Amino acid sequence: MHELSIALSIVELAAEEAERRGAVRIDAVHLRLGDMSGVVKESLLFSYDLACEGTPLEGSSLVIEEVPVMVYCPACGVETNPPSIKSLCCPVCETPTTQVTRGKEIEVVALEIET
């Protein structure tokens, strides 16, 4: 349950960015969350409300865009979706691959603010 620490970091980071832009209100934080980030979406949403209490983000919502895992298949030379994160291989030729190109990110991409 490290989602609370992650939520606190998101709140801190978003508050800083909002202040820099002269926001008087923050309505939402948009987050990209990789399927292999090690973060559980539901726990993060729950923790987010707690983390916002008493901060300029209180009452704001967290909008999560889940990012599927992508791997590079060295045999086919393409970026592709593996069958699952439990099976990191090319879905076409089944070559195993460790080159994860997407799906590990935890990134704040946008803020909905009022200025």
Partner 1 sequence: MNTQPRLVEVRRKVMNQNDLLARALRERFREAGVYVVSLVSSPGSGKTTFLERSLTALRPLCRVAAIVGDLATDNDAARLARSQVPVRQITTGAVCHLDAAMIEGALAGWDLDGLDILFIENVGNLVCPSSYDLGEDLRMALISVTEGEDKPLKYPTIFNSADVAVITKVDLAEAAEFDASAANKNIQSVRPGMPVLRVSAKTGEGMDELLRFLASRVAEFALRLQSDF
Distance separating alpha carbons of residues 32 and 44, to the nearest angstrom: 12
- Extract the runs of DSSP E, i.e. beta strands, from 20-99: 25-34, 61-67, 70-73, 78-80
115 binds partner 1 (CB under 8 A): yes
Q: Binding string, 49-78, against partner 1, x = CB under 8 A? A: ------------------------------
Residue with Cβ nearer partner 1 (77 or 86): 86
- Extract the runs of DSSP E, i.e. beta strands, from 1-115: 25-34, 61-67, 70-73, 78-80, 100-102, 106-114
The only residue of 46, 85, 91, 102 in contact with partner 1, by rule CB under 8 A: 85
**Tokens at 96, concatenated:** 């195993």
Residues in contact with partner 1, counted by CB under 8 A, come to a total of 39
The only residue of 15, 36, 62, 70 in contact with partner 1, by rule CB under 8 A: 36
